[in-house]
Chain A
Amino acid sequence: MAVDAAATRRIAHLARIAVKDEELAHLQGEINAVLAFVEQLQEVNVDGVEPMTSVTPMEMKKREDVVTDGGIADAIVANAPASENHFFVVPKVVE
């Protein structure tokens, strides 16, 4: 499997990464190199092997249904480029 220039541009766009035309061929090459590496793994027979989700046998951590957080609106919007009355302010988006 390999990606062409159009697919590379599309991947960049979906990830909202601006890519100049002259950068495209290089990125395409890098993605295809990764894909080629992953493709080698296809040679391994994994029939009946559960996908590994953790290197140590552990269970998902769970929390009880208790409110322990919040009330930090100042901190939440502290890094926002623009905010108003604790709202984030963004360029208008309407469908």
Chain B
Amino acid sequence: MNASAKKPSKLLRGATGDWEVVIGMEIHAQVTSNAKLFSGAATAFGGEPNSQVSLVDAAMPGMLPVINVECVRQAVRTGLGLNAKINLKSVFDRKNYFYPDLPQGYQISQYKSPIVGEGEVTVDLEEGESIVVGIERLHLEQDAGKLLHDQHPSMSLVDLNRSGIALMEIVSKPDIRSSEQAKAFVAKLRSILRYLGTCDGDMEKGNLRADVNVSVRKPGEPLGTRCEIKNVNSIRFIGQAIDYEARRQIDVIEDGGAIEQETRLFDPNRGETRSMRSKEEAHDYRYFPDPDLLPLQFSQAFVDDLKAHLPELPDERKARFINDFALSPYDAGVLVAERESAEFFEAVLDALKDRARDGKLAANWVINELFGRLNKEAKSISASPVSAKQLAVIINLIGQATISGKIAKDLFEIVWTEGGDPEALVEARGMKQVTDLGAIEKVVDEIVAANPDKVAQAKAKPAMIGWFVGQVMKASGGKVNPQAVNDLLKIKLGL
């Protein structure tokens, strides 16, 4: 097998040859703040209908928007986290359209002068590969209200609690070439937002949603006509929507048709995208600067102060884990992907007696034993029955050779199901590793004496020693130190 065959091709096979998919995204991320972008009403999820609405949010005549400075800070922090240019002056515009969830008849957004300009995100893919996805811009805008269609046979109900909550629209450059890359990009962006604390990234609540622009072309040719898939609200659906849409476009073109630029919806039940058949004029938003709002301006010192207080981001944390504990880039990537997982691992490290010695061991335990077990039971890290402290104690016990790795797995199981202090459990249940050489020697002697045929084989083929080690471990219930057994066996077998 040659090297290129190992790497799965990003190109899609069609009847007329290979096709390249070109993807750009617009991510709408709800800003984490107490109050709305331009009013003092609350942003909390799940309030009684219209209970978190001010007269500004309901667009009553004569009301004036006043910007929430924390939303500005959050947008700047996000821009910094995306290595992007921060614009010290930006402008709010009105995007005009009519819909029952939009009482103003326009959305206050940013059009020509966004608060954040170009940036980039490094996205890690499988097998150590990574790509850089350019960020075109980030702007602040208002969210709309919520429509409920299923409460009444002929009417829709409108709740404006969400109306006016701050959103960040993050627009990528068309740098993405496959559904896998698209999913990894959104996952990375979500991770950065959650580390920054600027958006909770909760896709189920719609706090992070993506519009996906998809087009196809023959490699090397100019960009094809794109279709926009609106409001995809899970990472898995983003992948499905792209796969379906790319295949649909290839089929249309190969059948002699042409792609029409349009907005489509992804139907998760059918796994397909459908045309929204909106009237073309729906896209005539007639943007103009909002006369109620002066340009948004702040100083470089304001930006520098936010930058100085930025938390450690996933890329930095990953580099630190690799550097401090000699973790593989893949393992470090797994640990830092979710902020909660990384914090759990940090808590384990903090409770270790010797983190330089046992840090890598701790990483292996968190990734393999803990994550494996959590996945199996579909539990989140925050619901882990084994606390970071308990896990650290188990690792300390392995590190100082009080228990063997095999016994540690049994101990982990006990702590998982029954709870308790691992150290006390080891005492109470006699799980301590036998380090008394005399006792080990006795077991070794018995096994050697009982298996003269294997002893003869081992003399010819020293790798047979593994079989003896296994027998001794079994006979001792896993409580002896495998290295000590190995050393003793070498002597006894004369190897």
| B-binding residues in A (CB < 8 A) | 10, 13-14, 16, 53-54, 58-73, 75-77, 82, 84-95
Contact = CB atoms under 8 A, between A and B. Distances in A.
Contacts of A87: 49-50, 148, 151, 157-159
29 contacts: A13-B281, A14-B286, A16-B98, A53-B294, A53-B295, A60-B67, A60-B294, A64-B68, A64-B69, A64-B70, A66-B35, A67-B42, A68-B35, A70-B42, A70-B53, A71-B51, A76-B58, A76-B160, A87-B157, A88-B100, A89-B152, A90-B100, A90-B156, A92-B152, A92-B154, A93-B99, A93-B147, A94-B156, A95-B265
Contact of B297 (A60, A64, A86): A60
**Interface on chain A toward B: helix, strand, loop, or mixed SS?**
loop
B35 A59 contact: no
A73 B53 contact: yes
Contact of A66 (B40, B53, B58, B154): B40
B79 to A, nearest CB: 18
Nearest to B32: A65
A76 B98 CA distance: 19
Nearest to B284: A14
Interface string B237-248: 000000000000
Nearest to A67: B42
Interface in B286-302: 286, 289, 293-297
Contacts of B66: 61-63
Contacts of A90: 100, 155-158
B476 interface: no
A88 B159 CA distance: 7
B294 A58 contact: yes
B431 interface: no
B70 A73 contact: no
Nearest to B103: A88
B157 A63 contact: no
B162 to A, nearest CB: 13
**Interface on chain B toward A: helix, strand, loop, or mixed SS?**
loop
Nearest to B278: A95
The 8 A-B pairs of least Cβ separation, nearest first, read A65-B70, A68-B40, A69-B54, A69-B40, A88-B158, A87-B157, A60-B294, A70-B41
Contacts, number: 133
B39 interface: yes
Contacts of B39: 69
A68 B55 CA distance: 12
Which among B40, B66, B152 has the highest number of chain A CB atoms within 10 Å? B40
Given A87-B159, A92-B155, A70 B297 contact: no
A80 B34 CA distance: 28
Contact of B155 (A16, A53, A89): A89
A20 to B, nearest CB: 20
B67 A67 contact: no
A82 B155 contact: yes
A65 to B, nearest CB: 3
Contacts of B35: 63, 65-69
B53 A76 contact: yes
B467 to A, nearest CB: 67
B40 A67 contact: yes
